[in-house]
Chains A and B, each alone.
Chain A
């Protein structure tokens, strides 16, 4: 890797040594559940096979942190309705195209001849609007505080008339608080999302330690995640519960002030629906009144009625998303519910816990030297 400072964070010898230290330190502990909130942490854990390096009594549990898993069906339904309009080019991140709403996904709408395009950046969506003046371009913005500033920037700065945004943006501290308040989840440690914290700072996670839960903000290289687990295990063995920051190269106390300002400029915080969880107060971003000309819901007068989203019959994604259950405890898992035909949201997203357990497997032979 040319950026050699990163190379060290993927060094196999260092990773294995940290794993050994975790195992040694964890010997005296009972079963300890550590939840990571971010879908990208789940990807790192699965992609690098970190679970196979954990001792039996350390469990890495995924929380409600992948935008696909938590995006309300209504949001996807609205995107589908907009896409089914000849004059609209519906642009979105790739994560959302295979998510089935009530009965179809954006990819199926595309196969019916409508224009659905995957973009890397909201700025690419804007460029499409410049290039297609006779068409309307709508950007389906899904994500958390990391993505909100980029979307806010386009809301404020974009000049093109034919460009608007359908938001499905959420805040993470409120859902973490909701989870800890619900109390029936025996999580002893939380790995807080490193890139959300790059924007909002590590200060907002202080409240977690009041619940007797250790919390470490972590980066996304394998060594970052392993270090965060080690820091939590150290705290647990000392009987401590405090906030630590492993991702010092990117996360500061206050985060990115400019990014936070631009978010405040474009969005207000409102109640929103988390798929499988329900309504959580002040956990969603809504485009402010003064930018209503950028708000696809206003421009195309889509009314957003909020109703409790129920899970498909037999699906326990709502428990899996909150770390209360493992995919293997769902009788649909690997039978009726597979990546090929996903039933619940967590099987659809490449970040979803069920998809990753199906794909990367959990029960694995011990680490194999090659």
Chain B
């Protein structure tokens, strides 16, 4: 792979997958440990097995820009995102390690605000922040602050939930409105900025996942962060080798998210959410799971949006508002506004 890294390689779409496959998957020899889930699964995290437990890990780098945005900041995002990645594997988050790197000259007041947000998000799910690192880079060598965070969770052995668990006949639900975080960020971007009440939905959603797990029918879960809903659904369809059908009328969006997507020529299915999950659940337990989720703090607007079939494995098909059908593709790079 010659040439240079572009922003699109970091957007969580096909280009990101190419980099991960070419530079990591193909290079590393040992890709799993202690009989656990490893790199090959390319899931939200990995695991190791002990006598009767499965310990789940996730790691992510948070480089959001701007670092303070309507509805949150990079601190809340780092802790919530880490808690959510661990939750997506069906594991109860118990600990977080974080590495904070700041640029020389970064204000301590801002650092305090960010760390307070980390504290609040962790305390919402009573997860311990057990270890970390703090580094400073010379002025101009880093854009303000970057936070890397590793999450640790536990589940009973064999109870881990992977993207490859969806079964034909299952129902597909989302735990709330899609694309809020994406629009909140874009509204601040120079050259395309606009006013809106849309706030980022950044939140630790273990309580939602826990409620769903209690019902007992969860087969697969994915948080629609980078790559949006289209990315998450395609990943589940590919890894489970199933077809996913969604009904566009059922997908919950806040109205300003659709307004912003249409004004800028963006697909609402590629916009980020940072406090939502796609959950694939056994058909018989779908309604019950939905009701339990709706009782939780972050699951009030959950909806069943479609179902799993087998005719075209690896495909996501959408029955559109106009009644037609089309393929919902995995995004290639980052969403870029267009006029045509």
Interface residues of A in 342-370 (CB under 8 A from B): 349-351, 359-361, 364-365, 367-370
Knowing A93-B339, A124-B192, A349-B340, the reply to whether A48 touches B6 (Cβ < 8 A) is no
Contact B338 A93 (CB under 8 A): yes
What residues of B have a CB within 8 angstroms of the CB of A369 in the complex? 319
Name the interface size band of chain A: 35 or more
CB distance from A80 to the nearest CB of B (A): 15
Interface residues of A in 1-40 (CB under 8 A from B): 1-2, 10, 12, 15-16, 19, 39-40
Name B6's closest neighbour in chain A (CB-CB): A111
Stretch at the interface among A50-58, A229-237, A269-277: A50-58
Contact A370 B247 (CB under 8 A): yes
What residues of B have a CB within 8 angstroms of the CB of A39 in the complex? 340
Contact A107 B7 (CB under 8 A): yes
Name B312's closest neighbour in chain A (CB-CB): A365
Q: Is A327 an interface residue (CB 8 A)?
A: no
Contact A48 B306 (CB under 8 A): no
What residues of A have a CB within 8 angstroms of the CB of B319 in the complex? 49, 367-370
Contact A108 B339 (CB under 8 A): no
Contact B5 A49 (CB under 8 A): no
Contact A108 B338 (CB under 8 A): no
What residues of A have a CB within 8 angstroms of the CB of B336 in the complex? 94, 97-98, 118
What residues of A have a CB within 8 angstroms of the CB of B42 in the complex? none
What residues of B have a CB within 8 angstroms of the CB of A1 in the complex? 255, 258
Contact A52 B14 (CB under 8 A): no
Interface residues of B in 221-265 (CB under 8 A from A): 245-247, 249, 255, 258, 263-265
Contact B322 A67 (CB under 8 A): no
Contact B326 A94 (CB under 8 A): no
Report how far A364 CA is from B318 CA in the complex, Å: 11
Report how far A269 CA is from B190 CA in the complex, Å: 33
Name A3's closest neighbour in chain B (CB-CB): B259
Q: Is A223 an interface residue (CB 8 A)?
A: yes
Q: Is A135 an interface residue (CB 8 A)?
A: no
Name A120's closest neighbour in chain B (CB-CB): B192
Contact A68 B325 (CB under 8 A): no
Contact B306 A361 (CB under 8 A): no
Contact B323 A112 (CB under 8 A): no
Report how far A294 CA is from B265 CA in the complex, Å: 28
Contact B327 A120 (CB under 8 A): no
Of the candidates A108, A120, A147, A223, the one whose C-beta lies within 8 Å of that of B337 is A120
Report how far A179 CA is from B214 CA in the complex, Å: 63
Report how far A360 CA is from B323 CA in the complex, Å: 15
CB distance from B195 to the nearest CB of A (A): 13
Of the candidates A68, A124, A340, the one whose C-beta lies within 8 Å of that of B332 is A340
Name B243's closest neighbour in chain A (CB-CB): A365
Report how far A19 CA is from B323 CA in the complex, Å: 10
Report how far A110 CA is from B190 CA in the complex, Å: 16
Q: Is B317 an interface residue (CB 8 A)?
A: yes
CB distance from B340 to the nearest CB of A (A): 4
What residues of A have a CB within 8 angstroms of the CB of B317 in the complex? 364-365, 368
What residues of B have a CB within 8 angstroms of the CB of A95 in the complex? 338-340
Knowing A68-B340, A91-B191, the reply to whether A111 touches B7 (Cβ < 8 A) is yes
Report how far A339 CA is from B7 CA in the complex, Å: 16
Q: Is A82 an interface residue (CB 8 A)?
A: no
CB distance from B330 to the nearest CB of A (A): 10
What residues of B have a CB within 8 angstroms of the CB of A52 in the complex? 324-326
What residues of A have a CB within 8 angstroms of the CB of B8 in the complex? 98, 107
CB distance from B138 to the nearest CB of A (A): 18
Q: Is A128 an interface residue (CB 8 A)?
A: yes
Interface residues of B in 3-40 (CB under 8 A from A): 3-8, 14-15, 18
CB distance from B22 to the nearest CB of A (A): 13
Of the candidates A46, A222, A367, the one whose C-beta lies within 8 Å of that of B321 is A222
Interface residues of A in 36-87 (CB under 8 A from B): 39-40, 43, 46-53, 66-68
Q: Is A226 an interface residue (CB 8 A)?
A: yes
11 inter-chain pairs at a CB distance below 8 angstroms, sorted by A residue, are A48-B322, A53-B323, A98-B333, A110-B7, A118-B336, A124-B192, A147-B339, A339-B332, A360-B327, A365-B311, A370-B307
The 6 closest A-B pairs by CB, nearest first: A49-B324, A222-B322, A49-B326, A94-B336, A48-B322, A15-B322
* Further 8 A-B residue pairs, CB within 8 A, beyond A10-B321, A50-B322: A1-B255, A111-B5, A117-B191, A222-B324, A360-B327, A361-B327, A365-B312, A368-B317
